[in-house]
Amino acid sequence: MLGARVVRAPRGPERSARSWGAEGALRMLQNNLDPEVAERPDDLVVYGGSGRAARDWRSFDAIVATLQTMAPDDTLLVQSGKPVGVLRTTEAAPRVLIANSLLVPRWATPEYFRDLEEAGLIMYGQMTAGSWIYIGTQGILQGTYATFTEVANRHFGGSLAGRVVLTAGLGGMGGAQPLAVTGNGGVALCVEVDPWRAQRRLEHGYLDEIADSLDDGLDRVERARRERRALSVAVVANAADTHPELVRRGWVADVVTDQTSAHDALGGYVPNGMSYAQALELRQRNPSEYVERAQAAMAAHCRAMLDFRSAGAVVFDYGNGLRGQAKDAGVADAFDYPGFVLAYIRPLFARGAGPFRWACLSGDPADLAATDRAVAEAFPDDDALQRWLRFAAENVSGQGLPARICWLGYGERHVAGTAFDDLVARGVLSAPVAIGRDHLDAGSVASPERETEGMRDGSDAIADWPVLNALLSTASGASWVSVHHGGGVGIGKSIHAGLVVVAEGTPASRDRVERVLTNDPATGVIRHADAGYDIALDTARTVGVRMPLDPGTHAPAWQQ
């Protein structure tokens, strides 16, 4: 019965499916809906307000039953969370191919999408929700940690000690921000409209304290700032109310960002000027009015961030669609502050670096510890990676299956992946490992308001790249591959691709892991080299990524 159903991934070395590719997909689908992992598992919502793992419970049950019974050379097709066909391919082919929310561009509007969703014809898959590789808040933590490290290096002499970061949103993505800030020595003031989300982050160890009021929160963070003491404090309120009020008072944070679910004006962002309960009631009773009020609130939120920037704060967008929504609501200068990729992450993308994550299908924490050691031993001279692995082991509370994330570049991911495969083959691990990544990666996304904002050659909106990435992952033998629309920025604003490959400990598995994890980040190097980034050009030449044309010979005249 809806409301009483609890989904958890099976543990242990015995599988219920006929292949580990299907078993891995089965366990990760179920792990996405584990109560420790998902925001609203009863509604199949994993994170981001509306990102689902399956379209409805009937579809979920059919996916599970199919994965358990399909042959080792079958491939399941999933259309926006609904299983629509099983076709014979090869054992080297993916076990699952997923497409979520892919609308013809002229019809790719939030309003049209909501009509289709209400009719039961489509669902929003976010990024890792509908591609079955979400691992809880940790999944975005390392990238957030790395971003704030770069903020500290760029603006504050290498540390956030004595600095206050003001942000909003403690959902599945935003919940990583407080721990990422304190991990860099800083003080985080986090505004969250939903008291349950704030409490959840507190219980999971991502947040230190919840204040009684905005004034109480300010008192706590100011004491920590004076003492140069790392601390994260949540205030349960609406950012569209608190941020303008802080501007009015003349209070200025050192850094201001945001990770509310602004990409979704109906299912994500919450309008101000009313209680949270009243907002939820309005969402059900009058969706059109709700959206209108939410967009007005986003405009107020964004204007306050612009005011903080004028007052001297370091301000950047964390890729949630706030600037785009605010611009649509009349804030003409909404894009005067940059997105985090453009400001801090693009050099990593240009050399094929991005989020590499894995989940131990055994459910055994000892397997996670063994994989952590394997990564540390594979890259002994990478000081930043070594620090991260120690920090994660000591501070990250697991959700669902034991899992980890770290950022690895081209030429590194396959080294870690084959090391895992070897551990499975030698019996060090008690079951295979599912290796995947966020869709937010070097070569797997076209998102002009986030990952591909401000590309050097003006190619921000060209979506050939994520489609090529998905096709290549399929040809390389990934265990499951997905192509989505919308992600964390909203319908009409991005196309992105994901993959997972299961390290099974067999010779065939080792070949697939090496091939997939070599080719996937190569598309990031190629994409950025083609756009004229020197780091990517140097990387391509150094590691031997073949490009039939020298990118410099066909660049626009203004770039040459």
Residue 148, burial from CB neighbour count under 10 angstroms (0-12, 13-18, 19+) = buried
Q: What single string gives the DSSP state of each residue in 463-504?
A: -HHHHHHHHHHHHHT-SEEEEEE-TTT-TTS-EEEEEEEEE-
Rounded to the nearest 10 degrees, how much is the dihedral formed by the CA atoms of 192, 198, 200, 205?
Answer: 120
Count of H helices and E strands in the chain? 19, 17
221, 282 contact by CB (below 8 A): no
Q: Which helix (H) or strand (E) is 209 found in, with range?
A: strand 209-210
Q: Which two tokens stand for residue 221?
A: 């963070």
Name the amino acid, one letter, at 458. Answer: G
Residue with tokens 């599945």: 172
Instruction: Mark whether 406 is an active-site residue.
Output: yes
Locate 457 and state its tokens.
Answer: 């050659």
Alpha helices in 311-447 (DSSP H): 322-328, 340, 346-350, 365-378, 383-395, 413-425
d(CA 392, CA 406): 9
Q: Which amino acid is at 208?
A: D
Give the Cα separation of 60 and 49 in Å (integer).
Answer: 19
Which has the closest alpha carbon to 552: 533, 538, 532?
532
- Looking up tokens 């609203």 gives 40
Q: CA–CA separation, 234 vs 199, rounded Å?
A: 9
Q: Which residues are catalytic?
A: 406
